[in-house]
Amino acid sequence: MESNNQIDIVFNIDSREIISVLPTDFSIQTTITSPPYFDMKDYGVNNQIGFGQTYEKYLDDLQNIFKTILDRTKEDGTLWIVIDTFKRNHSVVPLPFDLANRLKEIGWIFQDIIIWKKDKTVPWSSDGFVQRKIEYILFFSKGIKFKYNKDITRVYDTQILKRWWVKYPERYNPKGKALDEIWEYPIPVQGAWGDKYIRHFCPLPKEMVATMISLSTDENDIVLDPFAGSGAVLAQAAYMNRKYIGAELNNNYIEQFNNYLKETLTNGQKEYNLIKSSPNQTSFETIIWKLRVLKYGRVLLNAIEKQLNTRNGIIIVNPLEMQNDKMHVEYIIVVDKNAQTKYEGLASEIIKKKPLSLYGILPTIKYEEPQNIDTNVYYKYSSTNTYSYIKQPELFSKAKVYSNIKIDINEQQYA
Ligand SMILES: C[S@@+](CC[C@H](N)C(=O)[O-])C[C@H]1O[C@@H](n2cnc3c(N)ncnc32)[C@H](O)[C@@H]1O
């Protein structure tokens, strides 16, 4: 067979013949696709998969295509399939699960099922079949180890996070909240694609595609869509500096895609570069660490003093540096010399136990006498609040936690 190494192209072929166009010198990193519906939609060309086939033949075709793709996928490569159930002869056909079983048979490892929650879809429902608002996203890998850039897709937008992050920073990964199994992305409206572009049946939302691409590829990796349709997957891959390969039976869609990409590539890449270089994740990480480090000091001092039934001490918090993913912090407990041994005994017990053992903090605890410390140089926090420093001098007497960390978050600001 002639070797083919063309990339960044959508081939006008039947994807049952995809082997003829897949590169021989490069392997695919991820495939993202939504296969044609079974026997429901006519995409207006001959040789369509789904339309006019039996269900078994339809599954056979998809199985064969995904087998070819598996063979040409990198060892750490993956596959995303967006797909839905439907109803035939008064009964639900569990297509996502039937297909998943077929793919398991040929060697794909079934990693995850994610729910794509759309805001709206066809408005009809029938008895025993409520209105549809979701589709399934099936995620497979070729091997047990696979590329999965989890940290890049974490949610760190503080307007989206529940306001718990302010009071409970220890519950949040400093890089943000991991994705969960429900992804909410509205279906793109015609306008979102530009007026000239595409009257296609089912373009995937570009932010959702971007999430899949970020998770499962790096720049210059190859993204494949064997049922390219509007080319939503491939355009997004191009914006994100990935290589793409597509197959699509309907040549009109390919022409529209090529024009669309030409028009939007520069802006799409600009948008991607902006997101990529955004300092937001780093600043979120910094805030979470500040909150944690201060809260640790407060919780420690409160726990000791509760057991001793006293309120005499204060604690000074000096963050030092990261050491193997842990934050090294110096805590100075300021209390009279004669009380220090009691504090010391309890502190060493408390830091070994939950919750403090889970904070990701490596503490060095020191003791100092009050007369040796100038507390004026620090921001002051109370025994109940280490996310907003005390500003009024008349409240300074309530200060229990002192630090050069300045943090001032109004918890009410966050939904
Ligand atoms: C559900 S749509 C894909 C939509 C796409 N994900 C998007 O974002 O626009 C399925 C596509 O597969 C195409 N198709 C159907 N049978 C095919 C075949 N045998 N080979 C290649 N493409 C085919 C249809 O023309 C249609 O565009």
Segment 137-188, tens digit of pLDDT: 999 999 999 999 988 888 887 777 777 788 889 988 888 888 999 999 888 8
Sequential DSSP letters for 259-276? HHHHHHHHHHHHHHHHHH
| Nearest by Cα to 228 from 36, 24, 22, 19 | 36
Confidence category of residue 196, pLDDT binned at 50, 70, 90: very low
Q: Is 230 in the pocket of ligand 1 (CB under 6 A)?
A: yes
Q: Is 43 in the pocket of ligand 1 (CB under 6 A)?
A: yes
Distances (CA, A) of 341 to 143, 308, 337, 346, 394: 55, 12, 8, 9, 32
* Nearest-5° Cα angle at 98, 96 to 104: 100
What mean pLDDT do residues 392-415 have? 88
Query: Rounded to the nearest 10 degrees, what angle do helices 95-106 and 55-71 cross at?
Result: 40
Q: Kindly provide the residue ranges of all beta strands, DSSP E only, lying in 84-167, ordered along the sequence.
A: 86-88, 91-93, 109-117, 134-141
CB 172 within 8 A of CB 161: yes
Confidence category of residue 41, pLDDT binned at 50, 70, 90: low
Question: What's the CA gap between 111 and 78, in Å, rounded?
Answer: 9
| Nearest by Cα to 280 from 159, 389, 148, 150 | 159
Ligand 1 pocket mutation, candidates 68, 202, 249, criterion most atoms within 8 A of CB: 249
Distance (angstroms) between ligand 1 centre and the Cα of 329 equals 56
CB 231 within 8 A of CB 224: no
Ligand 1 pocket mutation, candidates 48, 60, 66, criterion most atoms within 8 A of CB: 48
Distance (angstroms) between ligand 1 centre and the Cα of 281 equals 36
CB hemisphere CA count around 193 (13 angstroms): 25
pTM of the model: 0.80
- The pLDDT, as a whole number, for residue 67 is 98
Predicted confidence (pLDDT) per residue in 254-312, tens digit: 999 999 999 999 999 998 988 877 778 888 899 999 999 999 999 999 999 999 999 99
Q: Is 14 in the pocket of ligand 1 (CB under 6 A)?
A: yes
Q: Is 232 in the pocket of ligand 1 (CB under 6 A)?
A: yes
Tokens of 262: 């030409």
Domains by residue range for the chain, with CATH: 9-147+181-277 (3.40.50.150), 281-413 (3.30.300)
Query: Rounded to the nearest 10 degrees, what angle do helices 206-216 and 232-239 cross at?
Result: 60
What mean pLDDT do residues 311-328 have? 94
For ligand 1, atom 16, name the residue with the nearest CA. Answer: 48
Q: Tell me the residue type at 325.
A: D
